[in-house]
Structure 1
Amino acid sequence: MNKINNSKIETLLKKVANVRALQICSLNIKTHQNPIVIEIFIKKTNGDDISLDDCALFSTPASEEIENSNLLNCSYVLEISSQGVSDELTSERDFKTFKGFPVNVELNQKNSKIKFLNGLLYEKSKDYLAINIKGKIKKIPFDEVLKISLSTLKD
């Protein structure tokens, strides 16, 4: 079997994605399967959610580009999907959507032993994150916050 040039395939598919205001988040070529599987995770460059139609509309031109490039001389399956919803909050939209939801906040405080705080998402400003911990609002400066993610409630 010929060596598959992942970077050439990725470059090709990025062009197809860019034309459609899409971005490739990850590309995984599974050569150990027969036929090989090309797994592509896409997202919209404007941050909107990816629909099934978006995946379908990307699939045909992506297939055609791969065929026309002659980079693969074997049969393959193209799997297009979105990354889905991450539990990490990053965008302004995330913070509005999940206000009042339980969150875990990972801290990088050098002077404190506290690494994690749990509470209800209260507010995000440009300087700080505020969470409600048992009825008390705690403001955490953003330079101390490493990661904010939705909490999965455990019994």
Structure 2
Amino acid sequence: MSRQVTKTVQKVAQPIVEKEGLELVDIEYKKEGQNWFLRIFIDREEGGIDLDDCTRISEKLSEALDEADPIPGAYILEVSSPGVERPLKKEKDFRKAIGKNVYITTFEPIEGQKVFEGVLRHFDGTTLTVGEEEKSFEIPFDKVAKARLSVVF
């Protein structure tokens, strides 16, 4: 059910977010405790977003979701920035992340492991190269289960 909800919400949210000159980064629908949460993550290509952006999108999206009624039952709508550990979902996300630290999990082991953390060195649309100069891994794009930017302290 969760996947269907996020697909339906994306159809409602995408035009609203894009009309405001923002990017729809991710949608999450999940139960935490007694409550269902619908989280919409937005960003701006350059410069990030602020509270006014989140409030404006939240109000417009809330109205559109009430009208479309794609979710049975009650839920809590949250609109926010994806944060510093932003998820990488689309090819363009990976291209923008070249040279940055990433955290990637794969559907199946590659060279004996399923978790990779390091600098995204290269992405050609089919293969990611992740790691440090002394050791790097070639990860097929279609084997990536989850990926996000990673903050290194």
TM-score range, shorter chain: 0.5 to 0.7
Does 2:141 match 1:115? no
Once residues 18 and 40 of structure 2 are traced to their aligned partners in structure 1, the CA distance between those partners, rounded to angstroms, is: 14
Once residues 6 and 152 of structure 2 are traced to their aligned partners in structure 1, the CA distance between those partners, rounded to angstroms, is: 36
Once residues 105 and 16 of structure 1 are traced to their aligned partners in structure 2, the CA distance between those partners, rounded to angstroms, is: 34
Q: CA RMSD in A?
A: 3.8
What SS class does the counterpart of residue 24 from structure 1 fall into?
strand
Once residues 38 and 20 of structure 1 are traced to their aligned partners in structure 2, the CA distance between those partners, rounded to angstroms, is: 20
1:70 maps to which residue?
69
2:112 maps to which residue?
none
2:11 maps to which residue?
11
Indicate conservation of the 8 Å contact 1:106/1:115, yes or no.
no
1:61 maps to which residue?
60
Q: Deviations over 1:26-45 (max 9, x none)?
A: 1001146544210111101x
Question: Percent of aligned positions with the same letter in both sequences?
Answer: 23
1:20 maps to which residue?
20
Stretches of structure 2 that go unaligned for 5 or more consecutive residues are 87-95, 101-117, 122-128, 137-148
Distance 1:34 1:4, change over 3 A: farther
Once residues 106 and 71 of structure 1 are traced to their aligned partners in structure 2, the CA distance between those partners, rounded to angstroms, is: 37
Once residues 149 and 76 of structure 1 are traced to their aligned partners in structure 2, the CA distance between those partners, rounded to angstroms, is: 30
What SS class does the counterpart of residue 48 from structure 2 fall into?
coil
Q: Deviations over 1:77-136 (max 9, x none)?
A: 11111022359xx58xx9xxxxxxxxx756659xxx8128xxxxxxxxxxxxxxxxxxxx
Q: 1:115 is aligned with what amino acid?
A: K
Give the drift of 1:14.
0.8
* Count of residues in correspondence between the two structures: 105
Give the drift of 1:15.
1.1
Distance 1:33 1:67, change over 3 A: farther
Q: 1:7 is aligned with what amino acid?
A: K
Indicate conservation of the 8 Å contact 2:84/2:151, yes or no.
no
What SS class does the counterpart of residue 77 from structure 2 fall into?
strand
Distance 1:37 1:115, change over 3 A: same
Indicate conservation of the 8 Å contact 1:30/1:38, yes or no.
yes
Distance 1:114 1:54, change over 3 A: same
Indicate conservation of the 8 Å contact 1:36/1:75, yes or no.
yes
Distance 1:35 1:86, change over 3 A: closer
Give the TM-score of the pair, scaled to structure 1.
0.53
